[in-house]
Structure 1
Amino acid sequence: MRSIRAAAVGAVTLSLALAASACGGGSPTGGGSDDSPKTLTYWASNQGAGIEVDKKVLQPELDTFRRQTGITVKLEVVPWSDLLNRILTATTSGQGPDVLNIGNTWSASLQATGALLPWDTKNFATIGGRDRFVASALGSTGVQGKDPAAVPLYSLAYALYYNKKIFADAGIAGPPATWDQLVADAQKIRQRGKQALGAEGSNLSENIHHVFVFAKQHGADFFTADGKPDFTNDGVVAAVQQYVGLMAKDQAIPTGNAEYAQNQSVSDFAKGRTAMLLWQSASANLASQGMPEDEYGIAPVPVQSGTPGPGTQVNSMVAGINLAVFKNSHNLDGARKFVKFMTGDEEQKILNKAYTSIPPVTSAQSDPAFNTPANAVLKDTLARSAAALPQVPDESQFETTVGTAVKELFADAAAGRAVTTASVKAALGKAQQQMPAT
C-alpha cells in the first residue's frame, strides 16, 4: 500500500479468519446477481494529495466508462485511516461496494474472509488474462497456490531520495549503494550540521516495510513455509536490530524521529531538514510540498553488499493498490467490465501518470512517462529486487504486532536505552505471542 496515507492496518487487531464464512457486496440481498446492471458502487482509496484531488482524477474516467458501457459508477473515495475497517464491516454486514481498492498487503487477509471474488482463469480471461500483469505485482494478490483475491491496479516501490545540495556540501559524490556507505555518508552529513536519514518510528506500516526488507537481506522470513510466525529467528532479530540501529548505534536517524508518524519524514526531507528519505514513489508528495525535482536524486534502496537483485539483494517490498470485487455484487458482469476498463492499457497510463505510480500492466509501461530516470529506478526495483510481504491470513496482525515492537525499540533508542540482540529478541517474542493461535 502507499504508506503516505494513514496506516489503517496498524489499528486492526481482530482476526479476519473469524469472518471466513461472511459475505459482502453491493446490496443487502447480495448473492452475486446482475439485478442492477446499470449501476456500480466503487470505493477508491485516497491516492492523491486529498480526496477532492482523487475525485478530479477519477470522475472523468468513470464518465468515460459510462459512455462506453452505459453503467454509472457511484464513487466514494475512502481515507486510508478508514478503509480497512470499512471493508471489514462490509464483509460481515453484506452492505458494501461492488468494486473496491485494497492495499495489496491486505490481499491474503481479506481473501481469508471469503467475501472477495476469486480471480480464477475464467475471470482473468474477461480482463485479458493474468499474463498481462507484472509477476511481482501478482505476487501480492493473495496466498500462493490460490486464485488471487484481487488484481493489481497501481504499483509502487521504495527508493532512496537524496538532497543533491546537502550531499555536495558534505563532499559526497553520489548516493550510497550499501548500508555501510549510508552510515559513512550520514557521519559526513551530521558534521555539516544536517540530519541524515528520515524515518517514522511511530508509523507501524513503515516499520514493517523496512524490517521486512532488512530480513530479506539477512536471508530470513517472518513466517515459516507453512505460514506460522517465526519472529525470533536469528536473521529476523539481526534485521530488526540493524534497522533500529540506524538510530540507536549509527546516529543516521535522528532520535526525534522515534515519535514521527504519517508523512512527517517526507515533510522534513522536502524542507531540507534531512538529506535522505526511504519512501514509496515520493515525487508527487514532494512536489505537493514545494520541492522541485531538480533538488533531489533518486537511487535504489541500499543493500548489504553488491547491487540490488533477487534473494538477499531484495531492497523493497512490492507496494501498491489492488482492485477487488465483492462476490455477492448486484452487478458481477458490470464489475468485471469495470476491472477490465481500469486495468486496460489506456486507463493504466492515465491513472498511474496522475498518481506517479507504475502500471502493473506490462504493456502500459512502454509509455515514455514511465521511463524517466526516477521511474526507471522504480520499474527496475519492481522487476528485479522487490518481494511481496507475507501472503498469510494473519498478515494484518503481523503488521500490528511487529510494527509496534519496532516502535517500542525506537522509543528505547531515543531514550538512550541500549538496543541489544536480547532486547530485540524479547520484543519480537512478545509480538509473536500476540499473534492468533494457528
Structure 2
Amino acid sequence: MRRTRAAAATAITVSLLSAATGCGGGSTGAEGGSNTASKELTYWASNQGPDMAADEATLGPELKKFEQRTGIKVKLEVVPWPDLLNRILAATASGQGPDVLNIGNTWSASLQATGALLPWDTEHFDAIGGKDRFVESAIGSAGAPGQDPAAVPLYSMSYALYYNKKMFREAGIEKPPATWDELVTTGQRLSKDGKWGLAAEGSNPSNNIHQAFVLARQRGADFFDAAGKPAFDGPATVDAVKQYVDLMAKDKIIAPGNAEYAQNQSLQDFANGKTAMVLWQSAASSFKAHGMKEGDWGVAPVPVPAGGVPGTGKNTNSMVAGINMAVFKNTDNTDGALKFVKFMTGDEEQKILNKAYGSIPPVKAAQTDTAFATEDLTVLRTTLATSAAPLPQVPEESQFETAVGTAVKELFADAAAGRPVTTESVKSKLTKAQQQMAK
C-alpha cells in the first residue's frame, strides 16, 4: 500500500530527527515560532563568522536597514552549525519554526521532502527579482531535480587548500602540494617540534562528509547509486574514507587531538601557527578574526590524485558549498518573508554580506564587484565553475551526513587512540551507517 505524500514527508522528518539527535533533542520552536504580527519576522541565521557574536555584529546593521526601509522588525537568532539541522528538523516536525532561516545547501532536498518549506515557484521567484538572477549551479543545489527549489541561494563557497606561508618558507617548501602524495610528503616535513602539517575536525560530521565525498568522487564513486539508494560500503568509498582518516592514522600529519575538534577549531590552530595547512571553505574572514593578516596565508586548489588536473575526468576537488535561505510554509507573514529574502539577495546586500564572510555571491550581478577578484576568491570561483560537484540532492542526504559523518568521527577516535584503522574496520563502520538509513 502506497503512503500518501504527507505521510511520507512525516516519516522522513521523524527518521532524520532520530538519526540527527539520537535522544530526540533539539528545539520545539518555543523560542522562535511563526509570527502573527505582520511587522515582525523571526530569522534563524547560520554561524558564518568566527563566532556568533561576529555574526550578530555583521547582520545587526543590515537587519536594522531592512526595518528602516520596510517597517518590518527581524528577530535574529544565530544558530551554531552543530545545532542547526537538529533545530530545523524539530521545527519541521512540530510546525513551530522561524519565518525565515538559513540552511546548508546540501540539506535542501531532505528538508524539501518534509513539505515544511515554501516552494520557490515562478511567482515567488518573481517577487524577489527572478530566478535568472542566480548562478545556475547554486540553484541546482537548492532542491531535488525536477521540483521547484526549496530555498534561494544566499552565500556560495567551495573548498580550497590554505597554507601558512611563513611555515612553508621556514621549511624550505616553495609551493603548495597539488596532489595527495605531495600533501602527505609536505605535511610530514612540516610535522615536527609540536607543530603539524594539516588540521582537521574529526568530531565535525559535516566536514568529514565533505572530505570523504571529494575523495570518493576522485575514485569515480559516490555514496548513493544512480537510483538514489545508499551505497556507503563499496570498495571505492571505503578507500576514500580510509585515505582521509589515514592522514592521522598512518601518515601522521594530523595531530591526534584533532579527533575531538568540532566546528572552527581547526581554523584557530592554523591561525596560531600550530598547523601549516587546512582544507576549508571560504576561510579568509575567520583567519583575520583570529589575528592573521592578508598575505600570511596562501590558497591553492584542493589536491587531486597524482597525474590529475582539477576539473578533468574524476578530479572533483570540492563539493558545491553554500548557504541557502528558506521560508517556512506555515509563516503568518509570507509577504514580509518574501520582502526579507528579496532584501538579503539584492545586489547591494549580496556584496556587503559576501564581502564580510569571504564568500562568493550566488547573484550574478554582485559577482562583478572587484572585491571578489582576490587570490582567495578567484581560486574558489574557479573551483565552483570547473571542478566542484553537488552532494546528492536526495531526501536522505541529511541522514547520510549524520550517519557517515559520525562513522568517520569514530574512525578518527580510533586513530587518535592508537587503535588500527584497517580496510575491514572502515567497511564495518560504513556498513553500520548504511544499515541505519533503513531504520
Structure 1 residue 69: Cα displacement: 3.0
Q: Partners in 2 of 1:49 and 1:10 — Cα distance? A: 27
Identify if the C-alpha distance between structure 1 residues 336 and 49 changes in structure 2 by more than 3 Å, giving closer, same or farther.
Answer: same
Query: 1:255-334, aligned counterparts within 5 Å?
Result: 255-304=256-305, 305-309=307-311, 312-334=314-336
Local SS of the residue matching 1:43: strand
Q: Which moved more, 1:74-83 or 1:100-109?
A: 74-83
Identify if the C-alpha distance between structure 1 residues 243 and 395 changes in structure 2 by more than 3 Å, giving closer, same or farther.
Answer: same
Q: Which moved more, 1:210-219 or 1:355-364?
A: 355-364
Letter aligned with residue 198 of structure 2: L
Structure 1 residue 299: Cα displacement: 0.8
Identify if the C-alpha distance between structure 1 residues 237 and 82 changes in structure 2 by more than 3 Å, giving closer, same or farther.
Answer: closer
What's the counterpart of residue 367 of structure 1? 369
The Cα offsets for residues 324-369 of structure 1, whole Å up to 9 and x where unpaired, read as: 0111221212221221111111110011111121111121111111
- Percentage identity across aligned positions? 67
Q: Partners in 2 of 1:86 and 1:400 — Cα distance? A: 14
The Cα offsets for residues 4-47 of structure 1, whole Å up to 9 and x where unpaired, read as: xxxx99843599xxxxxxxx9725xxxxxxx7543322222222
What's the counterpart of residue 420 of structure 1? 422
The Cα offsets for residues 158-192 of structure 1, whole Å up to 9 and x where unpaired, read as: 11111112212222110011101111212322367
Letter aligned with residue 368 of structure 1: T
Identify if the C-alpha distance between structure 1 residues 219 and 91 changes in structure 2 by more than 3 Å, giving closer, same or farther.
Answer: same
What runs of 5+ residues in structure 2 fail to find an aligned partner?
Answer: 1-16, 25-31
What's the counterpart of residue 381 of structure 1? 383
Q: 1:26 aligns with which of 23, 26, 34?
A: 34
What's the counterpart of residue 71 of structure 2? 70
Structure 1 residue runs of 4+, over 6 Å off?
Answer: none
Identify if the C-alpha distance between structure 1 residues 420 and 75 changes in structure 2 by more than 3 Å, giving closer, same or farther.
Answer: closer
Identify if the C-alpha distance between structure 1 residues 425 and 92 changes in structure 2 by more than 3 Å, giving closer, same or farther.
Answer: closer
Query: 1:5-404, aligned counterparts within 5 Å?
Result: 11-12=20-21, 26-27=34-35, 36-190=37-191, 194-304=195-305, 305-309=307-311, 312-404=314-406
Q: Partners in 2 of 1:130 and 1:433 — Cα distance? A: 39
Instruction: Note if contact 1:25-1:327 (Cα within 8 Å) is conserved in structure 2.
Output: no
Q: TM-score, normalised by structure 2?
A: 0.88
Local SS of the residue matching 1:161: strand
Question: Aligned-pair RMSD on alpha carbons?
Answer: 2.4
Instruction: Note if contact 2:156-2:361 (Cα within 8 Å) is conserved in structure 1.
Output: yes
Structure 1 residue 370: Cα displacement: 0.8
Q: Partners in 1 of 2:256 and 2:169 — Cα distance? A: 24
Query: Relative CO higher for 1 or 2, CA cutoff 8 Å, sep ≥ 6?
Result: 1
Q: Which moved more, 1:418-427 or 1:46-55?
A: 46-55
Local SS of the residue matching 1:117: coil
Q: Partners in 1 of 2:86 and 2:191 — Cα distance? A: 42
Letter aligned with residue 239 of structure 1: A
Q: TM-score, normalised by structure 1?
A: 0.88
Instruction: Note if contact 2:165-2:297 (Cα within 8 Å) is conserved in structure 1.
Output: yes
What runs of 5+ residues in structure 1 fail to find an aligned partner?
Answer: 1-7, 16-23, 28-34
Local SS of the residue matching 1:434: helix
Instruction: Note if contact 1:10-1:205 (Cα within 8 Å) is conserved in structure 2.
Output: no
